[in-house]
Amino acid sequence: MEENERKSDALWGGRFEDSPTEFTQAFGASLPVDKRMWESDIAGSKAHAAMLARQGVISQQDADDIRAGLDAVGERIDAGEFEFDIDDEDIHMSIERNLTEAIGAAGGRLHTGRSRNDQVATDARHHAKKLSEGLAHQMLDLRAALLDIANENYGVVMPGYTHMQKAQPVLFSHHMLAYYWMFTRDFTRLKAAYDAADVLALGSAALAGTTYPLDREFVARELGFAAVGENSMDAVSDRDFLLDLAYACSVAMMHLSRLCEEIIYWSSNEFNFIRLSDAYSTGSSIMPQKKNPDFAELIRGKTGRVYGDLMGLLTTMKGLPLAYNKDMQEDKEGVFDAVDTLGNSLVVMAGMIRTMHVNADVMRAGAHGGFMAATDLADYLVGKGVPFREAHAIVGKLVLDCEKQGKTLQELSAAELAQVDEHFAEDAVEAVDIDKVVERRTTYGGTGHEAVKLQLEHAQERLIADTQLLGA
Ligand code: ARG
C-alpha cells in the first residue's frame, strides 16, 4: 500500500504501474550525496525559468512564481528546515517536487525543454567550479605558510639527500621552497579543473537538444559559465571535469604525503630536525614519553583514499556508451570525498608548518657529517688543473681514510690535506667549509644564498599573482 503511494509521487508516475521497494528506492537514490549541490540546482533552475520566459515558452508570471518559490526552498534548505525525503531520487527531484507543492502548476512548467541529465551535469559543473576555487584558496594559504617558514629560517643549512644518503648541504629554505613550487603547480591544476568545468550543459535536453527555442548563451551568462557545450550528447555524458578535479586532488595529496614523510622522520629522535607543536601531535596510551606525528601520518594515509576516488571514477567511466547512463550517478561521491580530504589535509598541513619548531643547530650539525663537501674538494683540485676523474679518485680515497679514522672533512688541517695531494694548498680548508659549499651553488634555481634569495622573491611574486588570479 505504501509502495503505491510512493509510485504516485514519482515524477514519471504516469507510465508506471508498480514502484520500487523502499530498499531499491534507497539503493537507486543519489540524494544523500548530491544534496550538497542544492545551491547550484536552484541557480540552474532560476536561470532556466528566466530564459524560458524571455523566449516566450512560459509566461513571465510563471517565471516569477518559480523564482520566488525556488528562493523560498533555498531559504528553507539554508536554515536547515527542509526535509529531504529519500523518495526523491536526487536533489533535482527533491527541489522540483517541493517547488510544485508550493506554487502549483507553474512548478510543473519548469522542466520544459530540460532533462535531469542536463541538470546533473550542470549542477556538477557549477559545484565543481566552487570546489576547485575553495581548494585553490586553501592551497594559497599553505603556500604562504611554506614561504613564511622559508623566509624566517633563511640561512639555516641542512643536509640534502639523494637515495636518503647525505649528498650536499642545502638551505632549509631551499628545501621548503621545493614544496612551495609543487603546491604552486597544484594550484595551476586546480585552475585547469575549474576551467574544464566552466562549460554549460543545460539545454542539452537529455541527449539530442530540444524543439523549444532555448537561449543557451543567456543561461550561460546567468550562471557564470564561460562557454556553452558544443555537443548535447557530449555535454550530458562528459565527466572529464570531475576526473580533472580528482586528479588535481590526487597529485596534491601525493605532494602532501611526501612532505608528511619528511616531517615524520625529521621529528624522530634520530633526526630531531624539527619539533612539532603539541597541537599537531598525539601521545601514547602506554608509553608516557611518546609524541607521535599522527596528523602527518594520517594525511599520508588518506592519500591512498584519494587515489582510490580517482581510480574509481576512471573505472566507472571506461565502458560507458553515449549518452547518459545511470552508472554516472556514482561520479560525485568519490570526487566530493577527494575534495573534502584534500581540503582538510591542506588546513592541517598549513597549521602544522606554521607551528613547528626548526632545530637549526641540529640541521647544521648534520650538514657536517657524511662528507658532503667531497664534491667541492674535487672541484678544488679541478681548479688547480687536476682532471675531474683523477680528482674524484683522490677525494674518494681521502673519504675512505677519514672514515677509517672517524674524522669529518672539516676536521682535516691544511697540512693533512697537502699530504694527500700536492695540489691542496692553504685555502683547501675553505673548500670544505659548509657555508661556503652552499654559497658556491650560485646557479639559477640552486641552493646558494643569493639564488635562494631570488627564489624567495619569485615565490612571493607568484603568490601575489595567483592570489589576484582568484580575485582574492
Ligand atoms: N540522479 C542522477 C545522477 O545523479 C541524475 C538523473 C539522471 N537521469 C536519469 N534519467 N536517470 O546521475
Query: pLDDT tens digits, residue range 209-232?
Result: 999 999 999 999 999 999 999 999
* CATH number for position 42: 1.10.275.10
313 and 353, same domain (yes or no): yes
Three-state secondary-structure class, residue 169: strand
- Long-range CB contacts for residues 3-6, cutoff 8 Å, separation at least 24: 6/87
Helices (H), 356-387: 360-368, 374-383
105 and 124, same domain (yes or no): no
Rounded distance between C-alpha atoms, residue 279 and residue 330, angstroms: 37
Specify the range with the lowest mean pLDDT, choosing from 97-111, 121-135, 343-357, 419-433. 419-433
* Ligand 1 proximity of 127 Cβ (cutoff 6 Å): no
Residues designated catalytic:
163, 284
For 119-143, letters b (16+ CB in 10 Å) and e give bbbbbbbbbbbebbbebbbbbbebb
Which mutation among 120, 320, 328 tests ligand 1's pocket best, with the greatest number of atoms within 8 A of CB? 120
60 and 179, same domain (yes or no): no
Looking at residue 248, its amino acid is A
* Ligand 1 proximity of 329 Cβ (cutoff 6 Å): yes
290 and 342, same domain (yes or no): yes
- Domain boundary (85, 112, 139) is at 112
- Which of these, 150, 134, 253, lies nearest to 459 by C-alpha position? 150
- Domain boundary (49, 77, 112) is at 112
Rounded distance between C-alpha atoms, residue 135 and residue 145, angstroms: 15
* CATH number for position 355: 1.20.200.10
Establish if 460 belongs to a structural domain. Answer: no
Q: Which domain holds residue 324?
A: 117-212+224-366
- Domain boundary (112, 145, 168) is at 112
139 and 82, same domain (yes or no): no
- Based on the structure, what is the number of domains in the chain? 2
104 and 130, same domain (yes or no): no
CA of 321 to the centre of ligand 1 (A): 15
For residue 33, which atom of ligand 1 is closest to its CA? Answer: 4
For residue 29, which atom of ligand 1 is closest to its CA? Answer: 1
75 and 169, same domain (yes or no): no
Which mutation among 324, 325, 331, 333 tests ligand 1's pocket best, with the greatest number of atoms within 8 A of CB? 324
Establish if 348 belongs to a structural domain. Answer: yes
What residues are paired with 165 via a beta bridge? Answer: 162
105 and 181, same domain (yes or no): no
Establish if 143 belongs to a structural domain. Answer: yes
Atom 2 of ligand 1, nearest CA residue: 329
Establish if 419 belongs to a structural domain. Answer: no
140 and 55, same domain (yes or no): no
Atom 11 of ligand 1, nearest CA residue: 326
**Geometric angle at alpha carbon 405, from 402 and 409, rounded to 5°:** 30
pLDDT digits (tens, 9 = 90+) for 231-282: 999 999 999 999 999 999 999 999 999 999 999 999 999 999 999 999 998 8
Q: What is the pTM of this model?
A: 0.94
| Model pLDDT, residue 7 | 46
Helices (H), 153-239: 172-197, 216-223, 232-237
pLDDT digits (tens, 9 = 90+) for 128-142: 999 999 999 999 999
201 and 125, same domain (yes or no): yes
Establish if 204 belongs to a structural domain. Answer: yes
pLDDT tier for residue 6 given thresholds of 50, 70 and 90 = low
Residues with Cβ within 8 Å of 212's Cβ and at least 6 positions away in sequence, in order, are: 52, 55, 57, 112, 113
CA of 91 to the centre of ligand 1 (A): 10
The answer to whether residues 424 and 417 touch, using CB atoms and an 8 Å cutoff, is yes
Phi, psi of 157 (to 5 degrees): -100, 140
* Ligand 1 proximity of 376 Cβ (cutoff 6 Å): no
Which mutation among 320, 326, 336 tests ligand 1's pocket best, with the greatest number of atoms within 8 A of CB? 326
For residue 328, which atom of ligand 1 is closest to its CA? Answer: 12
pLDDT tier for residue 286 given thresholds of 50, 70 and 90 = confident
| Model pLDDT, residue 472 | 58
* Ligand 1 proximity of 116 Cβ (cutoff 6 Å): yes
For residue 90, which atom of ligand 1 is closest to its CA? Answer: 1
Atom 12 of ligand 1, nearest CA residue: 329
